[in-house]
Amino acid sequence: MSDHFLALDWGTTNLRAWVADRDGKVRLRRDFPLGVAGLAPGEAAQRFAADVRPAMAAEQLPAVLCGMIGSTLGWQAVAYADCPASFAALQGALHRIDQPGAPVWIVPGVRTQRADGCGPDVMRGEETHIFGWAMSEASRQRGTHLICHPGTHAKWARLVDNRLENFVTAMTGELFALLRQHSALRVVEAIENEDAFELGLKASGDGGALASRLFTARSRVVGGDMPSDQVESYLSGLLIGAEVAATPALLGVAAPARVAIIGDLALCARYRRALTWHGFEADVFDGEAAVLAGLAALYRGV
């Protein structure tokens, strides 16, 4: 197998690509505006061959892809691996695309039954971040770890002895976007305001009665207690605070447990602030480094 490979984190709105060696050392990195939500059926394979491979000078390299590219919106729908899921199980479930040329594998997502009885939950892509984070340091592959992966659909997961035991999703990022664009809380102009974010954290309480608490983003403005350009920061604090306050309990976790936050560093910093506010301990880890480590570890096993 080649010493270098093409690694892709192909999500709903964006595609990140790297040419890396087997240890994950990067030779080339690029972003592409080719999220699967904007692709027509069958287009992913075409754009991969016509746009991504040439731009990365990777026409002959093996490729490992994770994320929504393995969904019904992507290249091929790849079956989920079931929780509890080990890294070996994920490795064994890699799906190879049936096509000529350099091999292409898609990482399966993971499926679980929620412990709160609400039904199933799923992830695609976050499993590669989580295992990549764990594979980056031996101590993370032992014991129990609570992991938060912020984003459009934030994931909270329990990793036990390098096995993904259970997880839950919080649609905080998507809800934030919908409220600020298409609701009575619509934001016309905004400035980032840390005091307003903290005020939102205070208003999040125990995370309950969120529909009622959200209206305070309007009542504070029309009542003259907060400038309208601070609504976005207040709403961010309120939503993240409510998620942090209520979601860990769905996995049987309570403060002052330690949480590993993996993802975009700026967003992770907000989650860390919210976790600290609610009595948790938290550490932030770069999501790009984690997903690349996961893809490299998967490639080493093919």
106 with 66: CB under 8 angstroms?
Answer: yes
- Which residues does the chain have with pLDDT short of 70? none
Q: Is the pTM of this model over 0.75?
A: yes
Alpha carbons 169 and 160: distance in angstroms, whole number: 18
**Residue 277: what pLDDT?**
95
For residue 195, the model assigns a pLDDT of 96
Distance, CA of 224 to CA of 227 (rounded, Å): 7
CA–CA gap between residue 159 and residue 26 (Å, rounded): 27
Name residue 39's amino acid: L
Of the candidates 79, 135, 114, 77, the one whose C-alpha atom is nearest the C-alpha of residue 293 is: 135
Which residue reads 């993370």 in tokens? 140
Return the pLDDT at 151: 93
| The pLDDT value given to residue 63 | 98
Q: What does the pLDDT look like over 274-289, one tens digit per residue? A: 999 999 999 999 999 9
pLDDT at position 188, please?
Answer: 78
Q: Which pLDDT belongs to residue 186? A: 87
Q: Give the pLDDT score at 189.
A: 82
